[in-house]
Amino acid sequence: MRLELGKINITDIQFANESKIEKGVLYVNPDDLKPVVLEDEKIKDVVFDIAKPGESVRITPVKDVIEPRVKVEGKGGIFPGWTSKVDTVGSGKTLALKGMAVVTAGKIVGFQEGIIDMTGIGAQYTPFSKTLNLCMVCEPVEGLKQHDYEAAVRKAGFRVAAKVGELARGIEPDETCVYETQGIKEGIEKYPDLPRVGYVSMLQTQGLLHDTYVYGVDAKQIIPTIISPTEVMDGAIVSGNCVSACDKNPTYIHQNNPVVEDLFAQHGKTLNFVCQIITNENVYLADKERSSNMTAKLCRMLDLDGVVVTQEGFGNPDTDLIMNCKKIEAEGVKTVIVTDEYAGRDGKSQSLADADAAADAVVTGGNANEVIVLPKLDKVIGMLDYVNKIAGASEDTLRPDGTLEVEIQVITGATNEMGFGVLSAR
Amino acid sequence: MMKQRECCTRFARGILFFYGDNKMKYFILTNNPMAAEEFGDTHDVRFVDGRLIDVLIRARDLINEGAVLLSHPLYGSVKPNETPFRSVLLQQGKSQDGELPPADTESVRLIGNAVSAFEKFIDKKEVTDPKLLEDFMVVDLSLLKSAVESADR
Amino acid sequence: MAKIKVVHYINQFFAGIGGEEKADTPAELHKGEVIGPGMAFKTGFGDEAEIIATIVCGDSYFNENIESAKAEILGWVKDLAPDLFIAGPAFNAGRYGVACGTIAAAVKEELGIKSMTGMYVENPGADMYKDKTYIIQTKDSAAGMRDAVKKMTAFALKYGKGEKIGASCEDNYMNQGVRVNFFEKERGSSRAVKMLIAKLNDKPYTTEYPMPDFDRVEPNPAVKDMAHATIALVTSGGIVVKGNPDHIESSSASKFGEYSLAGVTDLDENTFETAHGGYDPVYANQDADRVLPVDVLRDLEKEGVIGKLHEKYYATVGNGTAVASAKKYGEEIGKRLVADGVDAVILTST
């Protein structure tokens, strides 16, 4: 499959009467976007705001982060199963608005996490302090149940991102990257001497606030399968996961999957990037067994020489990760796994909830229990009242001087387990 | 009365056993009142009147006596010092000649890891806010349901 | 800013006194003197730090008079009140490494003074002390002196000035078993892809999180005929003959002991005790069978369940003992048991 990804660099976002993109500036009229959100009657109201890098702004609690894109050539549309039909995406041409993101925020449950600081020490830990953020805080109708509220905000985010993405249609991209994978036989013929490499992407799939969707399907229902990594660039995988802010994978990170990008960078040079294998992280142990068995089998059937395995979330996904690693290695396929750590505030505890000697090549996104003090910032988009309720915080989190003493696990993307960030630990 | 489950799966030593005719039952160990209410009429629910760690320790005791874990005791990404609730699916071990069945090593390992994972988080004050408690119950119930759905399939 | 005051510890060899034949040189304090590798440190420190005294001690002397030598040196260091204490580097010299580790850890622990040393990763002192002081990783011989001094100097200045110490890989010290966050140059996915390419090509790579060490041993097949088997007892619980004749240390044991059970049917408080310093010894001292179950095995012997209890048992203290040392004791004990025709062993811990 071959996808041309045109990148339009957005250098500023401004509210204006007319929604458009001009000379790299995104002009947004909130009144154009409001009806897109309110078409779901479960949402009573929405407030839009803009947060820019370097501003004294804190966005919290963050639910999802999404990059606006539009499909201009080829089958299907962005976010298949949501804002488009379920045609197979991943080929043709797609335009992406780079340097910006749509951020959905709001308190779905009382312990909703996720902080994006646009300045100060917290900004170093989140990748979304470097993007211009179009924020939307949704207010639900009275008495809306948690499940319905989550679904409503999740889908509203996709609709807004797709609507903003539409503004890119017809605009000349600043840069175009071409991503292409070959069929199995074609790939072997084209790169006979290169090791065949796959990417095993584990998706969080456990229940409310812990779900991931593939072409609109709840991924806890899937058995592992293969997809073209270009499909994820068109939003084939979206996030419904909003617990464990530091190591959940927002939709943005699926769209800009760093492992996919870095494997493509080596494709045809040092390796042959064959495909992406998606698997899940279910609660039920037999599901874990089945999924890891299938994943290892796929690696074998595809004659892979090596895979990168990435995970999502805290605790039991460590068991899935280790099962995958062990079984894939047992098939003679070499693995590198990407994870993060919960080594305690003092860094002395066992980092993972599971372990095995087969996991001899590990990349870590750092210790999520590290404590930092976030400065008081001038403006909050969302609300702060919940903050001492969340993981990585305590009763003493909100200090009298307005600073926050927290573990970095409260920060969106801080210890990302797809290797999106530079934080690590030894 | 609780219903006999048609079929259950058992997780042990990396092997999946299917009990078709055996009608092996499982039970839900929980301290979540909402879970007890949801499944009380249809499932074997054993309520633990205590904290999250009490559920894990009760599960550990039962596993030492031969019970087998069916769901991961660290399910969900909600941290164990954050949510007060936990539900675990377990299957009773079969006793042999009145002797306790041997402990399932994989279950022992997982529950041991879960207890130590709990211990590495700082202890937080008890949650009292009723809205927040409800949210925690709802999320725990949702995670439990996803396990029960797999078990009852 | 005032210069960082440093006290430097070296052995007889690096002080130019002599080799093995002079290893019994007692501890000496050389106030205001810079000796041996200290000269190189001096150059590296420039005017940011100065060595105010050098302590020289023979390796044998230190290790054979560990308590008195330590006390004497600590006394000097306390009076000198330096900002930083540097020992070595010891490279792969075992006893020198242990001395450097011991004294550096003691200076930090007992005097609250910053301390550091340097040695090769396989030096036994590294395993014993890497979590108790900063140990800079050096090459295995004095040929690596230039490199060692460069790394130790950089660390000493940073540490001495009170700057934040980074992760072990950033500041070249041995991992202390504590996970420390830092920002890498490349994002995680790029590091993962590079690591995979190295792994695929059988090139070296370093995992960022070494899995906990599982030194699993395949169990031997079950003993079929217990009724004729000779069973031995081995413990890491420190049960020794009363008075601890071999002076097995209460922690970080440097040896194991072999003791006779001939004619012993029950361990009691007049004849056996524990040398272990890592648990409340009261119950073990009252009745050492609680750790080393001789009484029960004598019963089984009488009942004919086992053939006989081996007439010797082996004991060490598992408290903080280096894995490498434990392995060595295990191998030696195993050899002796095999030579004595023992069929099976019961290992007890605490």
Q: Are A361 and C207 in contact (CB under 8 A)?
A: yes
- What is the pLDDT, as a whole number, of residue B24? 53
Q: How confident is the model at residue B18 (pLDDT cuts 50, 70, 90)?
A: very low
Residue C280 DSSP SS3: coil
ipTM: 0.96
Give chain B positions within 8 Å (CB) of A369: 120-121
**Rounded distance, CA C247 to CA C242, Å?**
11
B5 touches chain A (CB under 8 A): no
Give chain B positions within 8 Å (CB) of A147: 138, 142
**Rounded distance, CA A129 to CA A114, Å?**
13
Contacts of A45 (CB under 8 A, 6+ apart): A38, A138, A139
Q: Are C84 and C6 in contact (CB under 8 A)?
A: yes
B85 touches chain A (CB under 8 A): no
- What is the pLDDT, as a whole number, of residue A61? 93
Instruction: Report yes or no on chains C and A touching (3+ CB pairs under 8 A).
Output: yes
Residue A337 DSSP SS3: strand
DSSP code of residue C101: H
CATH superfamily of this structure's domain C4-171: Response regulator (3.40.50.2300)
pLDDT above 70 for B20? no
B98 touches chain A (CB under 8 A): no
**Rounded distance, CA B65 to CA B77, Å?**
28
- What is the pLDDT, as a whole number, of residue C1? 67
Contacts of A317 (CB under 8 A, 6+ apart): A202, A204, A281, A311, B77
Chains with 3+ CB–CB pairs under 8 A to B are A
Contacts of A188 (CB under 8 A, 6+ apart): A196, A272
- Residues for chain A: how many in total? 426
Q: What is the DSSP string of C311-336?
A: SEEEE-B-SS--HHHHHHHHHHHHHH
Report the pLDDT averaged over residues A336-342: 96
DSSP code of residue A384: -
pLDDT above 90 for A377? yes
Q: How confident is the model at residue B22 (pLDDT cuts 50, 70, 90)?
A: very low
Instruction: Report yes or no on chains C and B touching (3+ CB pairs under 8 A).
Output: no
Give chain A positions within 8 Å (CB) of B131: 110
pLDDT above 70 covers a percentage of chain A that reads 100
How many domains, chain A? 1
The residue in chain A having the minimum alpha-carbon distance to the alpha carbon of residue B152 is A284
Rounded to the nearest angstrom, the minimum Cα separation between A321 and chain C is 13
**Rounded distance, CA A335 to CA A327, Å?**
10
Interchain contact, C208 vs A363, CB within 8 Å: yes
Chains with 3+ CB–CB pairs under 8 A to A are B, C
The structural domains of chain B, with segments of one domain joined by +, span 8-152
Give chain A positions within 8 Å (CB) of C193: 259, 262-263, 265-266, 308, 336
Nearest to A406 by CA among A417, A415, A398: A398
For residue A391, what are the domain limits? 2-410
**Rounded distance, CA A283 to CA B77, Å?**
11
Looking at the domain assignment, is residue A425 inside a domain?
no
**Rounded distance, CA A118 to CA A130, Å?**
7
Query: What separation in angstroms does the CA of B8 have from each of B17, B27, B72?
Result: 9, 11, 16
Interchain contact, A418 vs C189, CB within 8 Å: yes
Query: What separation in angstroms does the CA of A28 have from each of A118, A163, A375?
Result: 20, 11, 30
**Rounded distance, CA C235 to CA C153, Å?**
44
What angle in degrees, to the nearest 10, is found between the helix axes of C66-80 and C94-111?
Answer: 50
pLDDT above 60 for B17? no
DSSP code of residue A224: P
């609507």: which residue's tokens?
Answer: A163
**Rounded distance, CA A24 to CA A411, Å?**
29
Q: What is the 3-state secondary structure of chain B?
A: CCCCCCCEEEEECCEEEEECCCCCCEEEEECCHHHHHHHCCCCEEEECCCCHHHHHHHHHHHHHCCCEECECCCCCCCCCCCCCCCEEEEECCCCECCECCCCCHHHHHHHHHHHHHHHCCCCCCCCCCHHHHHHHHHHHHHHHHHHHHHHHC
- Residues for chain B: how many in total? 153
Give chain A positions within 8 Å (CB) of C182: 423-426
Q: What is the mean pLDDT of chain A?
A: 95
Give chain A positions within 8 Å (CB) of B63: none
Interchain contact, A270 vs C197, CB within 8 Å: yes
The structural domains of chain C, with segments of one domain joined by +, span 4-171, 226-348
Interchain contact, A343 vs B120, CB within 8 Å: yes
Q: How confident is the model at residue B101 (pLDDT cuts 50, 70, 90)?
A: confident
- What pLDDT digit, counting tens, does each position of B41-63 carry? 999 999 999 999 999 999 999 99
Interchain contact, A259 vs C193, CB within 8 Å: yes
B122 touches chain A (CB under 8 A): yes
pLDDT above 60 for B7? no
Cis peptide leading into residue B73 (ω within 30°)? no
Q: What is the DSSP string of A146-177?
A: HHHHHHHHHHHHHHHHHHHHHTTTTPPPSEEE
Q: How far apart are the first and last CA of chain A?
A: 39
Tokens at C312, concatenated = 């010797």
Q: Are A119 and A56 in contact (CB under 8 A)?
A: yes
Report the pLDDT averaged over residues A266-295: 97
Nearest to A3 by CA among A129, A90, A117, A95: A90
Interchain contact, C192 vs A363, CB within 8 Å: yes
Tally C-beta pairs within 8 A across A and C.
146
Contacts of A191 (CB under 8 A, 6+ apart): A268, A272
Looking at the domain assignment, is residue A305 inside a domain?
yes
Q: Are A295 and A266 in contact (CB under 8 A)?
A: no
- What is the pLDDT, as a whole number, of residue A398? 83
Name the β-bridge partners of C136: C118, C173
pLDDT above 70 for A119? yes
Catalytic annotation present for A242: yes
Interchain contact, A266 vs C193, CB within 8 Å: yes
**Rounded distance, CA A312 to CA A202, Å?**
7
- What is the pLDDT, as a whole number, of residue B100? 77
Q: Are C39 and C85 in contact (CB under 8 A)?
A: no
Q: Are A153 and A121 in contact (CB under 8 A)?
A: no
pLDDT above 70 for A375? yes
Rounded to the nearest angstrom, the minimum Cα separation between B5 and chain A is 16
Q: Are A95 and A69 in contact (CB under 8 A)?
A: yes
Query: What global pTM score does this model have?
Result: 0.82
pLDDT in tens for each of the 350 residues of chain C? 689 999 999 999 999 999 999 999 999 999 999 999 999 999 999 999 999 999 999 999 999 999 999 999 999 999 999 999 999 999 999 999 999 999 999 999 999 999 999 999 999 999 889 999 999 999 999 999 999 999 999 999 999 999 999 999 999 999 988 999 999 999 999 999 999 999 999 999 999 999 887 667 777 888 989 999 999 999 999 999 999 999 998 877 889 999 999 999 999 999 999 999 888 889 999 999 999 999 999 999 999 999 999 999 999 998 777 777 788 899 999 999 999 999 999 999 87
Interchain contact, A348 vs C208, CB within 8 Å: no
- What pLDDT digit, counting tens, does each position of A208-233 carry? 889 999 999 999 999 999 999 999 99
Looking at the domain assignment, is residue A387 inside a domain?
yes
**Rounded distance, CA B14 to CA A410, Å?**
34
Contacts of A35 (CB under 8 A, 6+ apart): none
Q: Are C7 and C85 in contact (CB under 8 A)?
A: yes
Tokens at A353, concatenated = 């909830």
Give chain A positions within 8 Å (CB) of C176: none
Interchain contact, A206 vs B131, CB within 8 Å: no
Rounded to the nearest angstrom, the minimum Cα separation between A353 and chain B is 6
Q: What is the mean pLDDT of chain B?
A: 82
- What is the pLDDT, as a whole number, of residue C214? 65
- What is the pLDDT, as a whole number, of residue B12? 37
The residue in chain A having the minimum alpha-carbon distance to the alpha carbon of residue B77 is A314
Interchain contact, A208 vs B83, CB within 8 Å: no
Q: Which of A135, A138, A242, A246 is catalytic?
A: A242
Q: What is the DSSP string of C140-194?
A: SSGGGHHHHHHHHHHHHHHHHTTPPP--HHHHTBPP-S---EEE-SS-HHHHHHH
